[in-house]
Amino acid sequence: MDQASELKWAEKGEYLDCLRVWQKVYSPEVFADDWGTPAEFQRFLIGRVDGQVAFAAVVCDYPTYVRGQVLDCAGIAAVGTLPEFRGSGTGQAMMDATVGLIREAGYQIATLYAFREPFYRKSGFEASGWRWQIKCPIHQLPKCECTLPVREVAPGDIRCVEECYVKFAKRFNGSCARFGPHWVRRLGKKPPQIYAVGDPVEGYLWCNPHGFWNDLEIGEIAWSTPRGYEALLGLMRTLGINKSNAVWSEPPESGFARRFLDGNVEMVRHRPTMFAIVDAQTTLARMGADCNQFSLEFMGETIGTGSKVELNRLQLAQAVMGSPSLAEMVRWGEVGGDERALGYLQTILNPMPVCCMEFF
């Protein structure tokens, strides 16, 4: 950005300016007045051009599971540039500056849901991960025997499912290592009905089961054992007895696709995510990488002291997350460099499924 442009962390007196940007860009119905104060794990960004408010975004503190580690991740949301500042490069410059600010704040990675991927790709984000959205007629749900006890969980007691959630979330990269406020935010202002199976909990889901012949929409489903998953499918069949379809999301390694896929069941890729590596040195160290075994260029810096690999910023994001994997990029000739160094990195950055279950 030039000297007339500025991006900074918004102070309390600037929160309403951010809200006005979001209401103009997204509408007051989407961003009601209560958005004028960040949640406990959020910060607002505000950008100005020649002193005039032009840009706003939300940065969420979402510690994220990646290869068994919890990395400091910035979830970026509500990116908005006022119409009068579009087409001049302002939005792109603000996104570049956003990456700089979150790096200074100590984050290792960042993630977002993109309206248009090419825009964010220019600032270092690349597509990695998605979830299945499944729409199954109620009568085609498998008839699984529910041998586990079922109970309704009050929103205030949601932490009883936390151990189950952690076991579920650690199976793939990109999921939030939630703490209290994340659960509150995830459930929303009008918490749905929550059901858990097993004691201790082996699976849970939440939904709004009201109405007749409409769809049973599952807000979240997670399980820690195969029988927990089967019990949840049986519970869905029971909850949907007066419904048309059950609609829910699962990670790319879908239990339903592996075991129960049936005709007329719709499965589509849903909510693809983008990730960026903000601090490559720390991220690779957290992955257990020995930087004497390779070297690569990252944002004008040389990472490592070994033989060189040709891996750009976007490819590094996908390789770290694991989908598409570094092995795929090597196989297709999209990355190059010293074979031994690439081989070493492939042992560290092996293929893994990626899925972010948060909404931000």
pLDDT digits over 197-232, tens only? 999 999 999 998 899 999 999 999 999 999 999 999
| Structural contact between residues 55 and 25, judged by C-beta atoms closer than 8 angstroms | no
pLDDT score recorded for residue 359 = 82
Q: DSSP strand E in 188-262: where?
A: 193-197, 203-207, 216-223, 245-250
| CA distances for 54 relative to 4, 33, 75, 93, 101, angstroms | 12, 19, 21, 12, 17
Cα 169 to Cα 323: distance, rounded to the nearest angstrom: 16
Q: Partners of 184 in the beta sheet? A: none
pLDDT confidence of 58, banded at 50, 70, 90? very high
Contacts of 305 (CB under 8 A, 6+ apart): 291, 292, 295
pLDDT score recorded for residue 280 = 97
For 229-250, the pLDDT digits (tens) are: 999 999 999 999 999 999 999 9
Compute the C-alpha angle 129/359/106, nearest 5°. Answer: 75
Contacts of 360 (CB under 8 A, 6+ apart): 58, 60, 62, 75, 77, 113
Tally the residues of the chain: 360
Token pair for residue 157? 């007691």
Cα 123 to Cα 345: distance, rounded to the nearest angstrom: 24
Average pLDDT in the chain: 95
pTM of the model: 0.95
For 110-138, the pLDDT digits (tens) are: 999 999 999 999 999 999 999 999 999 99
CA nearest neighbour of 46 among 35, 34, 59: 59
Compute the C-alpha angle 177/180/183, nearest 5°. Answer: 75
